[in-house]
Amino acid sequence: MDEGIWKRLEEALLKFLIDFGPNVIYAVVALVVGIFVIKIVMRLLRGLLRKANVEPSLRTFFQSLSIFMLYAFLIFIVGILLGIKASSFMAMFGAAALAIGFALQGSLSNFAGGVLILAFKPFKVNDLVEINGNLGFVQKVDILYTRIKTYDGRIVTMPNGKVSNNDVDNRSMEPYRRVEISLNFSFEENFDELREIIVKALNANPDLVKDQPVDVWLHSIGDYSMEVSARCWAYTDDYWIVYWAQMEAVKKALDKNDIHLAIPKRAIYQENLVKSAPRD
């Protein structure tokens, strides 16, 4: 009886190898060759995108999408070689896609956001942007996430779904930016004299945009001081260098001319109270 069982198992295994063995071998060969071909195709694609001067953000998106589609096609080919019918395989793919879609609704939203970002280009790699309260330089934009590096060296990764649905402050899109310094002075100061001193200090900076104005205006009048706005223009890449230099230049110019910023003051008045004499 034992010999009969082993004989039947041997026959079943032999039949399986005869019926499915070649398909398994073909599938394994196709899988190995397919992975090798995908690596070559991706290397060629990266070279083409680089030669075509495609933006780094769009380049990353195309690479991520291409490798996903290539591996999906390879799995389809391997399934056909293993004997799975195309209709059955497509039904499996459809069911899997539906299940994955429900499980990864957030990721699909991020994917759609990545497409919108790459289509409308509110920013690109190396731009200085502020998104969701995070200010930094864009390091990477792929199909799901955007990554920026802040001034203090932090890496912030944000889902593209949230990025595409929020305000994006792109500070690198224009060639130059306005530097604005707010100062408070006492009403006793001569405004014309203040304007002359501050404008002279601002104009001394060699990194300003020459064809843009340098202005000093009376911005508002408060309860105890007048607010003065000093403005000039700097190239976008030099904004912070110019800002800090102008702050220092204005401070030194005011000190040199013995002009001080206003200090909040509060006057307290007290009525004279006459105490009545105690009665006997």
Place of tokens 């609704």: 105
Class of domain 2-103: mainly alpha
* Mean model confidence pLDDT for the chain: 82
Q: What is the pLDDT of residues 231-269, one digit of tens each?
A: 999 999 999 999 999 999 999 999 999 998 887 766 676
CB-neighbour burial class of residue 125 (10 A; exposed 0-12, middle 13-18, buried 19+): middle
Q: List the one residue out of 231, 237, 205 whose CA is nearest residue 217.
A: 231
Q: What is the pLDDT of residues 50-105, one digit of tens each?
A: 887 776 666 777 787 788 888 888 888 887 777 776 666 666 666 666 665 554 45
Residue ranges per structural domain of the chain: 2-103, 115-170, 176-256
Is 3.30.70.100 the CATH classification of the domain at 176-256? yes
pLDDT beyond 80 at 270: no
* Architecture, CATH, for domain 115-170: Roll (2.30)
